[in-house]
Structure 1
Amino acid sequence: MKHVLLFLGPTLMIFFGLQVMSSVPVTFLLFYGWLFGVPFVDMIVLKRNTWRDTFRQIGLGTNRPNMYHGVLTGLLSFFTIIVAGYFFHSLLFDKDDLQNLLVQWDFSGNLVVLLILVLLVINPFLEEIYWRGYLFKKLGGKQTKRTMILLTSLFYSLYHFLSIIPLFSWPYNIAMILPVFLAGMIWGYMRDKSNSLMGSIVSHILADSGIMAVYLLFLK
């Protein structure tokens, strides 16, 4: 039951913030509060690990091949997203509906720059630390590595449904979850093979940068 809550917690935070409160800032507070707070309470407060031991256990160590793979996969994701956005943004999005939805979610005005910075700086670190760091540590020895990668990728993808479905036009909103799941699998594989999160974090930053670039170039 405890593991079920760990898997579903981020989705519940997104659901409450977006679907109930209809606010991106509130969603960020709830979502990132969960991603940071749960590992912190478990590993630092309850288990009394030092910060150094915690960083080591969740994979925050450098590994040169892992960093190279992170840069390469991240750049591939970045340019693929930009090219797809350039050619297909008119099919994937209804610009007027998207802008109205973002205003409804409080993703507008002076907050936009701050929220984009959160997505580019905080989001990749906390998502990778939670899914490919903390939960890999939590499931280690209880599940096979393939099962860990699959489970974390599935539940990582789950809460993206709540933001992707309203943002994209039908039926592309359903198909867009597939790249999210694939990214989770790739980042999980990289984490497993190198025992390091840093390459996944770099790749995640570049992928999110591509998404934000599409928004700023073609949709804003």
Structure 2
Amino acid sequence: MRNKSKKYIIISSIIACIILYFIEQVLVMSYLVKILCKIIFFTVLPYIYVRLIKRSPVSDKIKINKKDLYLGAGLGVACFIVLISAYFFLKDAIDLNTIANELQSKSKVSSNNFLLVAFYITFVNSFLEEFFFRGFIFLNLYELGFKKLAYIFSSALFALYHIGIFKNWFNPWLIILAIFGLVSVGFIFDYIDTKSKNFINSWIVHILADAAIMLIGMRMFKIL
């Protein structure tokens, strides 16, 4: 049962990320289609696991208490400040016009719909990613006793998954830096979620991190 669970989590999550990469970079689907595909993969695969393999309620991973909110909010504010500071430090190496043009041509994201997209990314997308990478992958592997694997696999897959989104945005050095940063963030998110045994901590941090990125995006589309 233990090894069966591990195999399902690893294989299903890798397949999901490969398919989503294919949809993003090869098929170049509209943003709405990509959202629907992500929702399907990031919710159905965990649901199959908890209902058919683990046989426990999904609500186990979304319980909330005040300590979660305090810890997540504190780390989230710190992450927000770091991202805004990093942008101003690296802004000369980031071509916002190129990123904006790719978002417009590939995903049909423009200044007209950016605020709606920003709301989705900040609150809904962050929930989906934390539910999938931390709630489904990390916490389940961790609880099964594969603690080192849980940290390494969930953080690495989290970083590699994002390559499909930003691979054409940055130069190779910035891509390497971004991957290193995402792996590091993945480890931090994993660690704080072990304290509450759910993914609410990391979701709050993710929300504030995405809020910082969306502010940069507003500058990119000349909304701010």
TM-score using structure 1 length: 0.85
8 Å CA contact retained: 1:132, 1:197: yes
Computed over aligned residues only, the root mean square deviation of the Cα atoms, in angstroms, reads: 2.3
Q: CA deviation at 1:139?
A: 2.2
- Moved >4 Å (runs of 4+): 47-50
Cα deviations by residue, 1:41-93 (Å, 9 ceiling, x for unpaired)? 3334x36967xx3211x2x11233332221111111111111222332221x2
Alpha-carbon distance in structure 2 between the residues aligned to 1:70 and 1:126:
17
Matches within 5 A, 1:1-220: 2-23=8-29, 24-44=31-51, 46=52, 53-56=57-60, 58=61, 60-91=62-93, 93-109=94-110, 110-140=112-142, 142-218=144-220, 220=222
More displaced stretch, 2-11 vs 116-125: 2-11
Alpha-carbon distance in structure 1 between the residues aligned to 2:96 and 2:162:
20
Q: CA deviation at 1:163?
A: 1.6
Aligned length: 214
CA distance 1:199–1:16, shift in 2 (3 Å): same
Alpha-carbon distance in structure 2 between the residues aligned to 1:49 and 1:37:
14
Cα deviations by residue, 1:149-202 (Å, 9 ceiling, x for unpaired)? 221111111111122221123421221111211111111101112213211111
Q: CA deviation at 1:137?
A: 4.9
More displaced stretch, 70-79 vs 107-116: 107-116
Structure 2 alignment gaps of length 5 or more: 1-6
Alpha-carbon distance in structure 2 between the residues aligned to 1:49 and 1:101:
43
Alpha-carbon distance in structure 1 between the residues aligned to 2:72 and 2:143:
26
Q: What code does the residue aligned with 1:7 have?
A: S
Percent of aligned positions that are identical: 24
CA distance 1:137–1:75, shift in 2 (3 Å): closer
Alpha-carbon distance in structure 1 between the residues aligned to 2:58 and 2:154:
20
Q: What code does the residue aligned with 1:184 have?
A: G
Q: CA deviation at 1:124?
A: 1.5
Cα deviations by residue, 1:115-166 (Å, 9 ceiling, x for unpaired)? 2222111112111111211224542454432321221111111111122221
Alpha-carbon distance in structure 1 between the residues aligned to 2:142 and 2:149:
10
Q: What code does the residue aligned with 1:94 have?
A: D
TM-score using structure 2 length: 0.84
CA distance 1:141–1:173, shift in 2 (3 Å): closer
Secondary structure at 1:166's aligned position in 2? Answer: coil
Alpha-carbon distance in structure 1 between the residues aligned to 2:15 and 2:153:
14
